């Protein structure tokens, strides 16, 4: 199989991180791409596991060095996808999974039209606000900004390939697995010579 880029976006409070991490543990061979960010770690987030936490200055240096495949300012902080992780996985035929915002997803899709994009939504606006509130790691200001951004982000839903509503985490994860499985069976995503070596021998005789 050729490599696959699987991009997940959605508003804060959609439960993207939980869904993404559960999927990563449940689906063998998925490679989660660890982004870099200039924001400070929250709760028990760990450097090199959740993000590479770097300073604003280091982030800007990395932009100048062409380190990122894409980067964006989200909720007042900088976030970027390290190019080498993605390219390496792709060349080795792995499925990379990325949790990036809409700007990043649109940007990536321009560079890799074959990337598969899924938008994760909470079941209702009220539920989203409740989840954000419960997280309680954001300041009131940050919370307000995330809610404003969520309204804006909804306009981009139409540019995504798939919609997954996250009412129950395991169900959302099952849906994502089905999407990946279906994408894996698409002829254009397969290396046919590898998947069906005997077909070439037969058709060569025609």
Place of tokens 């400070």: 40
Determine, following the binding rule CB under 6 A, whether residue 3 of this chain makes contact with ligand 5GP.
Answer: no
- Cα 7 to Cα 111: distance, rounded to the nearest angstrom: 13
Q: Which helix (DSSP H) or strand (DSSP E) does residue 73 occupy? A: strand 68-74
Q: What angle do CA 40, 43, 46 make, to 5 degrees?
A: 65
For residue 123, the minimal CB distance to ligand 5GP (Å) is 18
Determine, following the binding rule CB under 6 A, whether residue 18 of this chain makes contact with ligand 5GP.
Answer: no
Determine, following the binding rule CB under 6 A, whether residue 89 of this chain makes contact with ligand 5GP.
Answer: no
Footprint (CB under 6 A) of ligand 5GP, residues 95-114: 99-101, 103-104
Helix locations, the chain, DSSP H = 16-26, 56-64, 83-91, 102-111, 125-135, 140-153, 169-185, 192-195, 197-205
Determine, following the binding rule CB under 6 A, whether residue 15 of this chain makes contact with ligand 5GP.
Answer: no
Determine, following the binding rule CB under 6 A, whether residue 74 of this chain makes contact with ligand 5GP.
Answer: yes
For ligand 5GP, the binding residue among 38, 81, 96, 117 (CB under 6 A) is 81
First to last CA, the chain: 26
Give 127 or 190: the residue with its C-beta nearer to ligand 5GP: 127
Contact residues toward ligand 5GP (CB under 6 A) are 9, 12, 35, 39, 70, 72, 74-75, 79-81, 99-101, 103-104
């Amino acid at each position: 199989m050729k490599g696959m880029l699987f991009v997940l976006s959605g508003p804060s409070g959609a439960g993207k991180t939980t869904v993404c991490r559960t999927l990563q543990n449940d689906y063998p061979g998925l490679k989660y791409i660890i982004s870099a960010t200039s924001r400070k770690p929250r709760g028990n987030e760990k450097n090199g596991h959740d993000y590479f936490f770097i300073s604003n200055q280091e982030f800007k240096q990395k932009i100048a060095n062409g380190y990122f495949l894409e980067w964006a300012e989200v909720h007042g902080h900088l976030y970027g996808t390290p190019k080498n992780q993605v390219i390496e996985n792709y060349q080795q035929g792995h499925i990379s999974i990325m949790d990036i915002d809409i700007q990043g997803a649109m940007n990536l899709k321009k560079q890799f039209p074959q990337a598969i994009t899924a938008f994760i939504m909470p079941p209702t606006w009220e539920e989203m606000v409740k989840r954000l509130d419960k997280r309680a790691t954001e300041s009131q200001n940050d919370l307000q900004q995330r809610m404003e951004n969520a309204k804006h982000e909804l306009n981009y839903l139409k540019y995504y390939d798939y919609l997954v509503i996250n009412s129950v985490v395991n169900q959302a994860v099952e849906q994502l697995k089905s999407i990946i499985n279906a994408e894996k069976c698409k002829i254009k995503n397969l290396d046919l010579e590898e998947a069906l070596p005997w077909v070439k021998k037969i058709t060569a005789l025609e």
